[in-house]
C-alpha cells in the first residue's frame, strides 16, 4: 500500500493508513528483537518489491537469455534493501525498552537506514519514502532545506501520527498537544512551499537556448549493428530541424551503438549539422585502448562536441549500475549463470568522480548519467557549484512501467535540493527542462519521439541543503525526535 504513494500514482494519503497498519501488526508480533526485525523486514520487502517491480521489465528485452534471472534480481534486491528496514525496526525496539517512544525512534531510524542504503555496497537509494513528496505540491520544496533524507523522516512521522492520537486518548486531551503540532507541520510545510513557489522566478540565461532530443528507440533495436546508421541519421535529422533555434543540443545516454569519438566520418557529419557556435552534448560509449583488445577499457560517457566536430571534453560515469553495467561479486555469480544486462565483453569501468563542463555562455554544467541522478550527495565536482545540471539517460529498459516516472521524480528532487535547473535527455523515457523549483519548462511524454526546445533557466541561490548537505536534515530530525521523547516522558509523569 505504501508504494502507491510513490510516483506516478502519488496517492500520498495512504501513509496515514499503511504505517498505522504496520505498527498494529508489530504490536501483535512477539515482543522481541527478532519479532521487531521480522516485522521491519517483511514490511520493507513488500514495499520494495512493489516499488522495484519495474526492474523486471529489463529482463524482458532479451527474455530468452535473461528472463530466468528476473525473480532473483527483483526479489533479491528487495530482500537486501529490506534488511535496512529490519535494522531500523530492531533499533526502535531496543530504544522502546529504554523508554523512547516509537514516534521518536522509528522515523529517525528509517531515515538513517535510508541514508545508509544510499551509501553502502555502491548504494541504491531508489524509492526512499521522501520521494512521496513529489505528489504533494508545495511539500516538495522542503527538499531545499532538508533534502530527500529529511523528507523521509517526516513522511514516516506524519504517517504514524494517527497512532499517536489513538494511544493518547480523547482528541482534546492536553496529551494530544504534541500530535496536533506534528500534524500541523504538514500544512505548514505545504503553505511554505507554495509561498516559495510563488516567490521564485527564473529568467532564461541570455543567449542560450536548448534543444533536447528524445529519439524513442526501443531497447530491442538500440544495440543492433544494422540499426546504427538509421539511428544516427534520425538524431541528425531531429537536431537539424531545431538547430536554428538552439545554442546547445543534448542527445541521450549511449545515443549511438558505435564509438562516435573514434568515427571521423561521424564527427564530420555532426560538424556539418552544427551551426557556428553550437555545441552538442551527447551520451556515448567510449573506449580506452589497451595493449591488447582484451585489455581495452569501456566507459559510459558524456562528450562535448564543438561545431568543427572536435571532442572538447569528456565525462565518464563513476556510479555504475550493479547488475547492469557491472556484475557485483562476478567471481561467485558468473559460474551460476548470472550476467550483467548490458551486453559488452567486459564490465564498464568507473570514472574518476563528479565533473562539470564549461559551456561558454551556458556556464558550468554538472553532469549526471542515468542512475547517478538518484543520489542526493556528491553531485558536484569538488563541491564547485555549477549553473545547471545535465542528465542523460536511457529508460528504454523499463518500457511503459512506473520506473521512468520515478526516475523523473528524482530529477525534480535534485533540482529543488540544489535550486539548479536540469536539462534531461532520455533515449526513451521522459525528457524535460526543469527549473530550480522543480517546475517543468518543457516536458515530453513517455515513449514518444520528440525534440524539446526551451530556454535554460538561471540558477537560483544556493539552498540550505546544497550548502550543508545532510547536516540540517539530521539536526531537524534529531530535534523533532528529542522533543517527542521529552514530551512522552513528561506525559508519563503526569
Distance, CA of 41 to CA of 36 (rounded, Å): 9
Number of C-beta neighbours around residue 99 at 10 A: 11
For each of the chain's 494 residues, which pLDDT tens digit applies?
999 999 999 999 999 999 999 999 998 888 899 999 999 999 999 999 999 998 887 676 666 666 666 787 788 889 999 999 999 999 999 998 888 888 889 999 999 999 999 988 878 999 999 999 999 999 999 999 999 999 999 999 999 988 765 544 444 455 566 667 777 899 999 999 999 999 999 999 999 999 999 999 877 666 667 778 889 999 999 998 776 779 999 999 988 888 999 999 999 999 999 999 999 999 999 999 888 887 889 999 999 999 999 999 999 999 887 766 655 555 455 555 555 555 554 578 888 899 999 999 999 999 999 989 999 988 887 768 999 999 999 987 788 899 999 999 999 999 999 999 999 999 988 999 999 999 999 999 998 999 999 999 999 999 999 999 888 888 888 888 887 887 766 554 44
Residue tagged active-site, from 114, 163, 370, 381: 370
What strands lie across the sheet with 450-457, from one edge to the other?
311-316, 297-305, 279-288, 248-250, 204-214, 450-457
Residue tagged active-site, from 313, 317, 372, 477: 317
Query: Exposed, middle or buried: residue 227 (CB in 10 Å: 0-12, 13-18, 19+)?
Result: middle
> What's the confidence (pLDDT) of residue 171?
47
Cell of 272: 556539418
Residue 3: which region, alpha, beta or left (left: phi > 0; alpha: psi -120 to 50)?
alpha
The pTM is what?
0.90
Contact present, 110 and 477 (Cβ < 8 Å): no
User: Per-domain residue ranges for the chain?
Assistant: 2-200+468-493, 204-459
- Residue 427 to residues 54, 341, 351, 449, Cα–Cα distance (Å): 17, 17, 22, 9
> What's the confidence (pLDDT) of residue 374?
93
In the residue annotation, 317 being an active-site residue is answered as yes
Residue 386 phi/psi, 5-degree rounding, is -80, 180
In the residue annotation, 253 being an active-site residue is answered as yes
Contact present, 254 and 232 (Cβ < 8 Å): no
Residue tagged active-site, from 114, 222, 253, 381: 253
> What's the confidence (pLDDT) of residue 29?
85
> What's the confidence (pLDDT) of residue 377?
85
Dihedral Cα 34, 39, 42, 47, nearest 10 deg = -140
Cell of 178: 504534541
> What's the confidence (pLDDT) of residue 30?
84
The residue with cell 551556458 is: 362
Q: Which residues pair with 368 in a beta bridge?
A: 391
Contact present, 112 and 129 (Cβ < 8 Å): no
> What's the confidence (pLDDT) of residue 493?
42
Contacts of 151 (CB under 8 A, 6+ apart): 129, 130, 131, 132, 133, 139, 142, 143
Contact present, 319 and 372 (Cβ < 8 Å): yes
Q: Which residues pair with 212 in a beta bridge?
A: 250, 452
Distance, CA of 487 to CA of 35 (rounded, Å): 27
Which superfamily, per CATH, for 204-459?
Answer: Carbon-nitrogen hydrolase (3.60.110.10)
Amino acid at each position: 500500500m505504501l508504494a502507491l504513494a510513490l510516483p506516478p500514482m502519488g496517492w500520498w494519503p495512504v501513509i496515514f493508513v499503511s504505517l498505522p497498519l504496520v505498527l498494529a501488526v508489530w504490536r501483535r508480533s512477539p515482543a522481541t528483537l527478532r519479532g521487531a526485525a521480522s516485522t521491519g523486514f517483511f514490511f520493507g520487502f513488500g514495499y520494495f518489491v512493489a516499488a522495484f517491480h519495474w526492474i523486471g521489465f529489463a529482463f524482458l528485452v532479451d527474455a530468452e537469455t535473461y528472463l530466468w534471472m528476473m525473480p532473483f534480481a527483483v526479489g533479491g534486491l528487495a530482500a537486501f534493501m529490506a534488511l535496512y528496514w529490519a535494522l531500523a525496526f530492531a533499533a526502535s525496539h531496543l530504544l522502546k525498552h529504554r523508554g523512547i517512544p516509537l514516534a521518536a525512534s522509528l522515523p529517525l531510524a528509517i531515515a538513517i537506514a535510508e541514508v545508509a542504503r544510499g551509501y553502502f555496497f555502491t548504494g541504491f537509494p531508489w524509492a526512499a519514502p521522501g520521494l512521496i513528496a513529489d505528489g504533494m505540491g508545495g511539500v516538495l520544496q522542503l527538499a531545499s532545506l532538508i533534502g530527500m533524507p529529511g523528507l523521509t523522516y517526516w513522511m514516516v512521522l506524519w504517517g504514524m501520527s494517527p497512532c499517536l492520537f489513538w494511544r493518547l486518548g480523547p482528541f482534546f486531551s492536553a496529551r494530544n498537544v504534541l500530535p496536533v503540532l506534528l500534524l500541523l507541520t504538514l500544512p505548514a510545510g505545504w503553505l511554505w512551499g507554495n509561498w516559495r513557489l510563488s516567490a521564485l522566478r527564473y529568467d532564461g540565461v541570455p543567449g542560450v537556448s536548448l534543444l533536447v532530443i528524445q529519439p524513442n528507440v526501443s531497447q530491442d533495436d538500440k544495440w543492433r549493428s544494422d540499426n546504427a546508421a538509421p539511428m544516427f541519421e534520425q538524431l541528425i535529422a531531429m537536431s537539424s530541424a531545431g538547430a536554428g533555434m538552439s545554442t546547445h543540443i543534448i542527445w541521450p545516454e549511449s545515443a549511438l551503438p558505435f564509438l562516435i569519438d573514434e568515427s571521423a566520418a561521424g564527427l564530420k557529419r555532426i560538424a556539418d549539422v552544427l551551426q557556428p557556435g553550437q555545441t552538442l552534448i551527447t551520451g556515448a560509449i567510449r573506449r580506452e585502448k589497451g595493449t591488447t583488445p582484451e585489455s581495452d577499457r569501456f566507459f559510459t560517457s558524456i562528450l562535448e562536441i564543438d561545431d568543427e566536430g572536435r571532442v572538447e571534453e569528456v565525462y565518464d560515469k563513476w556510479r555504475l549500475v550493479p547488475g547492469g553495467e557491472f556484475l557485483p561479486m562476478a567471481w561467485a555469480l558468473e559460474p551460476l549463470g548470472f550476467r550483467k544486462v548490458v551486453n559488452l565483453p567486459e564490465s564498464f569501468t568507473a570514472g574518476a568522480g563528479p565533473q562539470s563542463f564549461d559551456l561558454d555562455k551556458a556556464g558550468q554544467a554538472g553532469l549526471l548519467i542515468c542512475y547517478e541522478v538518484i543520489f542526493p550527495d556528491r553531485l558536484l565536482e569538488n563541491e564547485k557549484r555549477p549553473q545547471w545540471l545535465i542528465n542523460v539517460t536511457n529508460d528504454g529498459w523499463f518500457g511503459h512501467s512506473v520506473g521512468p516516472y520515478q526516475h523523473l521524480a528524482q530529477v525534480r528532487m535534485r533540482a529543488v535540493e540544489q535550486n539548479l535547473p536540469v536539462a534531461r535527455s532520455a533515449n526513451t523515457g521522459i525528457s524535460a527542462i526543469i527549473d530550480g523549483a522543480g517546475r517543468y519548462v518543457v516536458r515530453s511524454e513517455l515513449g514518444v519521439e520528440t525534440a524539446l526546445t526551451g530556454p535554460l533557466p538561471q540558477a537560483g541561490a544556493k539552498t540550505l541543503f546544497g550548502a550543508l548537505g545532510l547536516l540540517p536534515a539530521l539536526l531537524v530530525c534529531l530535534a523533532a525526535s528529542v522533543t517527542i521523547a521529552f514530551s512522552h516522558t513528561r506525559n508519563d509523569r503526569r
